C-alpha cells in the first residue's frame, strides 16, 4: 500500500550489505509521530526513530530536542547535518501542531483526536530501497505520500480528500518531504547499518526451558516451551514428536527483554497420556546449526537412568568387596 519507488543503489562497495540482504526480510528505518490533541490547549506529542523493532531515537517534547539512544544512532551523518535535521523536525512539529489547531473546524475534527504518522525507507533483499509516508487519524489510514503528492486513503473519506486538496498548493513542503524520503533516508539507513553493524549483527544464544501451563481441561496438559534472551529476532520454535513437527504448536508474541534481546514461547495442548516423547526444538542463527532440543519429562528420565546406574555400580562394588573379603 505504501510502496513508493525503487531506488537503484551502488551497493557493490558496501561490504556489510550481504549480511542484511541475505535475510529474506526487509530492514527499515522509520520515524513515528503520535500526537494526541486532547483539547484546544492540551497536546501530547511523541516522536521516535526506529530501526525495525529497535528504537534508536527519542524526542523530548519539553525541550524539543532529539535523544540518541545508541552510540551509533547518528549513523555516519556529521554533527552539522544531524543538528540541521533536528532543527527541521523542531520547526515541523511546531508548524504541524499550530496548523492542526488552526484548522480543526476546517478539517471537521473534534477534540479529542489522535494523529499518527510514519515515514521512512526500507532496504529490501537485493539492495532496493523503498520509501514510505503514511498518516492515520484515530488509528485508521488517512493519507499517504505517493509520487510526490498527497493521496487520500479510502478509509479517510471526504475529510482525507479535503486535507489533500488543502495541502496541494504547498509544493515547497512536498519538495522537502521528497528529498527526506528518497535521498536523506536511504543514505541514513545505509550509514546507520554500517556504523551500528557490530551491535546489529551480534548473535546471542537463546536459553530454553519447559514448564506446564494452566490445564486446558480434564485430562489435558498445556506444554510450554520458553525461549529467551536471543538476538536477532528470527527464530524457529516447534513442538516435535520425533522428526514430525506438531502442527498444533501455538506460537506466542515476541516480547522484548530489557537488554534488546527477545523472548518467545510455544505452547501445545495435548492429552496427558500423549505428552511423553514430545520435545521442543529451537533453531536460531546463533546456534550454528546445533538446534536446542528439550524433551518433555526428559530431564526426569535421565535422572532416573543416572540414579539406576549409580545404584547398580554400588551393588556390584559391594558384591565384589564382599566376595574378596570372603575369599581372603
Ligand atoms: C485540557 O485538558 C487538560 C488535561 O486534561 C486540562 O487540565 C485542561 O483544563 C483542559 N483545558 C481546556 C481548555 O479544556
Ligand atoms: C508520477 O507523477 C508524474 C508527474 O506528475 C507522472 O508523469 C507519472 O505518471 C506519475 N506516476 C505514477 C506511478 O503515478
Ligand atoms: C554514509 O554512508 C552511505 C552508505 O555507505 C553513503 O552513501 C553516504 O555518502 C555516507 N555519508 C553521508 C554523510 O551520508
pLDDT score, position 237: 96
Ligand nearest to the CA of 193: 3
CA of 128 to the centre of ligand 3 (A): 16
CA of 79 to the centre of ligand 3 (A): 14
* pLDDT on residue 9: 35
What does pLDDT average to over the chain?
A: 87
* Distance between Cα 174 and ligand 2 center (Å): 14
Nearest ligand to the C-alpha atom of residue 40: 1
Ligand 3, atom 9, residue with closest C-alpha: 187
Which residue puts its alpha carbon closest to atom 4 of ligand 1?
Answer: 42
The set of protein residues with a Cβ atom below 6 angstroms from ligand 3 is 14, 76-77, 187, 190-191, 194
Pocket of ligand 1 (CB under 6 A): 38-42
Mean pLDDT along residues 61-89? 95
Q: For the whole model, what pTM was predicted?
A: 0.74
> Rounded to whole angstroms, how far apart are CA atoms 217 and 237?
24
Distance 154 CA to ligand 2 centre (A): 20
Using the Cα atoms of residue 7, residue 12, residue 16 and residue 20 in order, give the sign of their dihedral: positive
Preceding peptide of 170 cis, ω within 30°: no
Q: Which of 31-35, 207-211, 222-226, 294-298 has the lowest mean pLDDT?
A: 294-298
| Residue 276 scores a pLDDT above 50 | yes
Whole-number pLDDT of residue 5: 31
* Atom 7 of ligand 3, residue of closest alpha carbon: 187
User: What are the CA-CA distances from residue 219 to residues 43, 211, 248, 270, 297 (Å)?
Assistant: 54, 17, 17, 9, 17
pLDDT digits (tens, 9 = 90+) for 138-173: 999 999 998 888 999 999 999 999 989 988 888 888
At residue 151, the pLDDT reads: 95
Q: Which atom of ligand 3 is nearest to the CA of 81?
A: 13
> Is the pLDDT at 301 greater than 90, yes or no?
no
Q: What is the pLDDT of residue 148?
A: 83
- Read off the pLDDT band of 57 (50, 70, 90): very high
Over the stretch 191-214, which tens digit does the pLDDT of each residue have? 999 999 999 989 999 999 999 999
Q: Which residue has the cell 529474506?
A: 24
Amino acid at each position: 500500500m505504501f510502496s513508493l519507488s525503487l531506488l537503484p543503489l551502488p551497493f557493490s562497495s558496501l561490504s556489510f550489505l550481504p549480511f542484511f540482504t541475505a535475510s529474506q526480510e526487509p530492514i527499515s528505518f522509520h520515524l513515528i509521530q503520535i500526537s494526541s490533541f486532547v483539547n484546544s490547549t492540551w497536546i501530547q506529542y511523541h516522536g521516535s526513530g526506529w530501526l525495525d523493532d529497535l528504537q534508536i531515537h527519542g524526542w523530548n517534547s519539553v525541550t524539543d530536542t532529539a535523544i540518541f539512544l545508541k552510540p551509533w544512532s547518528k549513523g555516519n551523518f556529521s554533527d552539522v547535518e544531524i543538528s540541521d535535521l533536528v532543527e527541521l523536525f523542531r520547526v515541523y512539529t511546531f508548524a504541524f501542531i499550530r496548523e492542526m489547531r488552526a484548522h480543526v473546524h476546517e478539517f471537521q475534527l473534534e477534540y479529542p483526536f489522535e494523529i499518527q504518522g510514519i515515514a521512512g525507507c526500507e532496504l529490501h533483499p537485493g539492495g532496493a530501497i523503498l520509501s514510505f509516508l503514511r498518516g492515520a487519524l484515530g488509528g485508521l489510514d488517512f493519507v499517504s505520500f505517493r509520487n510526490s503528492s498527497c493521496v487520500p486513503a479510502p478509509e479517510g473519506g471526504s475529510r482525507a480528500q479535503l486535507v489533500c486538496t488543502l495541502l496541494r498548493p504547498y509544493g515547497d513542503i512536498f519538495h522537502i518531504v521528497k528529498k527526506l524520503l528518497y535521498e536523506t533516508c536511504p543514505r541514513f539507513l545505509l550509514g546507520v547499518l554500517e556504523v551500528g553493524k557490530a551491535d546489529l549483527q551480534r548473535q546471542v544464544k537463546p536459553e530454553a526451558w519447559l514448564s506446564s501451563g494452566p490445564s486446558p481441561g480434564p485430562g489435558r496438559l498445556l506444554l510450554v516451551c520458553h525461549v529467551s534472551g536471543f538476538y536477532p529476532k528470527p527464530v524457529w520454535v516447534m513442538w516435535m514428536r520425533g522428526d514430525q513437527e506438531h502442527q498444533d504448536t501455538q506460537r506466542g508474541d515476541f516480547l522484548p527483554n530489557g537488554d534488546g534481546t527477545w523472548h518467545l514461547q510455544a505452547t501445545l495442548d495435548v492429552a496427558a497420556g500423549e505428552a511423553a516423547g514430545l520435545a521442543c526444538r529451537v533453531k536460531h542463527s546463533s546456534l550454528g546449526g546445533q538446534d536446542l532440543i528439550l524433551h518433555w519429562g526428559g530431564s526426569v528420565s535421565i535422572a532416573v537412568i543416572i540414579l539406576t546406574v549409580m545404584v547398580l555400580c554400588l551393588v556390584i562394588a559391594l558384591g565384589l568387596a564382599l566376595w574378596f573379603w570372603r575369599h581372603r
